[in-house]
Structure 1
Amino acid sequence: MERAIVHMDLDTFFVSCERLVNSKFDGIPLIIGGGDRGVVASCSYEARHFGVRSAMPIRMALRLCPDAKVVRGDHEMYSRLSHTVTDIIREKVPLMEKASIDEFYLDLSGMDKFFGCYQWTDEIASAVTKETGLPISFALSTNKTVSKIGTGEAKPGKMEIKLQEVQPFLNPLSIKKIPMVGDNTFQLLSRVGIRTIQTLSEMPVLVLQQMIGQNGSELWKKANGIDENPVIPYSERKSISTERTFTSDTMDIPELKRLISGMAEQLAYQLRKEKWLTSTVAVKIRYANFDTETKQSRVAYTSADHTLARVALDLFNKAYTRRMRLRLVGLRFTGLVHGSHQMNLFEDTEEQMSLYQAMDDLKNRFGSDAVGRASGFDFGK
């Protein structure tokens, strides 16, 4: 049976959300980001026309497009609308994967015998726009890689790439269109004349493996339109957590808060390493008499430890209401979706983003305890 895989992408999601609540932003160059020292979280097509792109420093973006309007953004609204779109899609398809806050994969394989897959997808996209006011693009093809590339080429719009059309569609495109090709890989391949997907697809697999390592084979498959990766069912129940049971019950509040900050930092690093974003934070405490209290809060999708630690400490203050010793504290992140750190781009400065990258690099090289914020270290270990 031929697979039918759809990739759906909410168009300029943050921008579209802002335009829902303020029509003055319609048709103008709009940048979502945080201050002169921040970076671009999202930008409108009108701003992209001038060369503005996501993750670019705001100062550079305004040099390219001086007339752009900069809006700090409402991350709570973005999260709420993302959940609404998720619910709409999930009710209408047999299998859905939420790839990030604004991207979805649908597996409609076998559904064409009951209802045309393309027509069905078109009606789902129309339902999203009708119920939320948000524009959404999509592409339908035989696997995740081709459908994702297709959405990128269709935006803003829609397209179908049938099996016999896959290679003719891919061949003339730049290798940068392949999701796993980053700047370093692009530069490496470009230096030997590999710039189009067709050229890449015609390269011997062994040569690619020698050039870029074990990913060479996977890259060759994608260039030839081969991708057997399944659509992973979406579940809000995915979580990561940690807890600490004390050898002696304690009510040392400063030490407890340092411990919770450290837990938040370690779990946030795990999120970033595994490319997750969380939308719910929960803190658990257990008193010496074994009574247990749990408090949780929804947050904008994030993997930033300074944001998550702040929420965790606030929840701890709400949970710890008795002057009684504690025997356990725990922290849990749930409502996970795949994605890189993005929701806090309009809060973070360039310096903060660089600091995260440097700290993560050190942790990847020397271990997760190699470096951290002073507030999160347990000096009593």
Structure 2
Amino acid sequence: MNPLAAPSPGFCRDCLTGAAGLARCRACGSPRIASHPELSTLSIAHVDCDAFYASIEKRDDPSLRDKPLIIGGARRGVVSTACYIARIRGVRSAMPMFQALKLCPDAVVIRPNMEKYVAVGREIRERMLAMTPLVEPISIDEAFLDLTGTERLHGASPALQLARFARSIEKEVGITISVGLSFNKFLAKIASDQDKPRGYSVIGRAEAVSFLAPQKVGLIWGVGKAFEQKLAADGIRTIGQIQAMEEAELARRYGSMGLRLARLSHADDRRAVDPRHDAKSIGAETTFNTDIAALADLRPVLRHLCEKAAGRLKRANLAAHTVTLKLKTADFRLRTRARQLADPSRLADRIFRAAEELLAKEIDGTPFRLIGVSLSHFEDPALADPDDLLDPAAAKRAAAEAAIDKVRERFGKTALEHGITFRRDD
């Protein structure tokens, strides 16, 4: 390092005072210094809440602060998320609960409270939008942000704005977030995973290719376990090996995915942060405490899930063309069956009828531990649910559903239930 070179721009993440070239903040003594040669020029960020569900529950119940906490179903369910104490013991999202409790038998288990989590997620999203209109949600607890051109509005660089944002979320919302800052979405997402929890990581243009070179190929967006194994079988295990290959050769071997490998391995990601980014599917599912095989027992649960999914569809002002049934057997084998509707729909009644037909074909004595329904291939709701000349009663059912929606909107979701769901065991 040249001793005469100017120190990299930097600031204290705790008190936000300037700290260029310092290991500790002179104002507050904190070692949490954000420093990087390109800190003042980067503007694409990925923000990810740390152990979101668990963090909210610990915020609301301080007695849980130092305890391992798992959010998920009962013993036969799966882990939705786990706090970092539980993660150190090996607990991971989507792990069967019985396995998680073997790894962490002293864990406190809490069922998810989605309404509470969605409310907190919405508050954080609104705070993001106060920084920039270019916010692309990825899930309830993470999003990409493009803060290009916001310096004059906020009187600070994007880097400093993000530090202010992280501090305000911690102090005013009561949970922590991790921030990744770079010059494109691919690297911003990687950066946000580098130093969790309470992370703040930067990947600049100058070091991007060299940073990627020693990383495993699975770090590349779109490379799942199966494709990573295929690449390994071909002798390709690191991103640096891909960097050394010709684009034409990668395309010949792996088609369009080969072209993606060529671009991303060289840190070339041209995707814009798109605030119009839409969910690809909307759905609901549940895991049973005891396996269920009978249609009579599965049917009311399916109706309830269809109502939940249809409600989410209506709130998103969407209509769906495809209904997909999801079943998981006692030995964790997954079955998915889909049906294309003649016209897009947003009615729980139509969705349930399609899903019920799919379910009936799967009833063969196999016990199921999970059932779910998802809706996809969205359309303009103005095109949804035209009159059905072959089913004159459909209009009456649609009117009844609209009336039920109004009652529930006013008096709560359980104020009125469909007769089929009375058999549902909550």
Give me the whole-angstrom Cα distance separating, in 2, the residues matched to 1:139 and 1:312. 32
> Is 1:309 the counterpart of 2:291 in the alignment?
no
Task: Percent identity, please.
Answer: 32
Q: Please give the secondary structure, in 2, of the residue aligned with 1:358.
A: strand
TM-score, normalization: structure 1?
0.66
Contact 1:34 1:349 in 2 (8 A): no
> Which blocks of at least 5 consecutive residues in structure 2 are unaligned?
1-40, 285-300, 319-325, 345-350, 361-387, 392-426
Per the alignment, do residues 373 and 207 of structure 1 end up closer, same or farther by CA in structure 2, a change over 3 Å counting? farther
* Matches of 1:181 and 1:334, distance apart in 2: 30
Cα gap change, 1:143 to 1:192, in 2 (>3 Å): same
Matches within 5 A, 1:51-200: 51-111=90-150, 115-156=156-197, 157-200=199-242
Q: Residue 102 of structure 1: CA displacement?
A: 0.7
Deviation at 1:205, TM superposition (A): 2.5
Cα gap change, 1:119 to 1:192, in 2 (>3 Å): same
Q: Please give the secondary structure, in 1, of the residue aligned with 2:264.
A: helix
Superimposed CA distance per residue, residues 342-368 of structure 1 (whole angstroms, 9 cap, x where no aligned partner):
xxxxxx99549968x5224x559xxx9
1:43 pairs with 82, 86, 93, which one?
82
Alpha-carbon distance, 1:160 to partner: 1.5
> What is the rounded CA distance, in whole Å, between the counterparts of 1:51 and 1:104 in structure 2?
26
Structure 1 residue ranges without an equivalent (≥5): 239-270, 279-303, 316-330, 337-347
TM-superposition CA deviations, 1:131-173 (whole Å, max 9, x none):
2111000011010000001101121210111110212222222
* Contact 2:136–2:275 under 8 Å retained in 1: yes
Distance 1:3 1:306, change over 3 A: farther
The residue aligned with 1:8 is 47
Report SS of the residue matched to 1:70: strand
CA offsets per residue over residues 18-71 of structure 1, 9 Å max, x none?
111111221322211101211111011122222221111111112222222221
How far, CA to CA, are the matches of 2:217 and 2:164 in structure 1? 32
Corresponding residue of 1:343: none
CA contact (8 A) 1:20 1:133 kept: yes
Structure-2 change in CA distance of 1:50 and 1:74 (3 Å): same
Give the TM-score taking structure 2 as reference length: 0.59
Residue 129 of structure 1: CA displacement? 1.9
Larger Rg: 2
What is the Cα deviation at residue 308 of structure 1? Answer: 4.8
Give the whole-Å Cα distance in 1 for the aligned partners of 2:118 and 2:135: 18
Cα 1:375–1:96 shift into 2, 3 Å: same
- After TM superposition, give the deviation of residue 208 of structure 1 in Å: 2.9
Count of aligned pairs between the two proteins: 287
CA contact (8 A) 1:118 1:160 kept: no
Q: Report the Cα distance in structure 2 between the residues aligned to 1:48 and 1:335, rounded to whole angstroms.
A: 37
Structure 2 residue 244 is the aligned partner of structure 1 residue 202: yes
For residue 316 of structure 2, what is the aligned residue in structure 1?
Answer: 334
Change in Cα spacing, 1:200 to 1:86, as seen in structure 2 (3 Å) is: same
Amino acid aligned to 1:43: A
Aligned-partner Cα distance in 2 for 1:308–1:88: 31
Q: Structure 2: how far apart are the matches of 1:140 and 1:38?
A: 36
The structure showing larger relative contact order (alpha-carbon pairs under 8 Å, at least 6 residues apart) is: 1
Distance 1:25 1:226 in 2: 43
Q: 1:29 to 1:177 in 2, by over 3 A?
A: farther
Q: Per the alignment, in what secondary structure is the counterpart of residue 373 of structure 1?
A: helix
Residues 280-309 of structure 1: CA deviation (Å, up to 9, x unaligned): xxxxxxxxxxxxxxxxxxxxxxxx976552
1:296-375 alignment runs, 5 A limit: 308-311=305-308, 332-334=314-316, 351=329, 358-360=335-337, 372-374=355-357
Decide which moves more: 63-72 or 33-42.
63-72
Residue 126 of structure 1 deviates from its aligned partner by 1.5
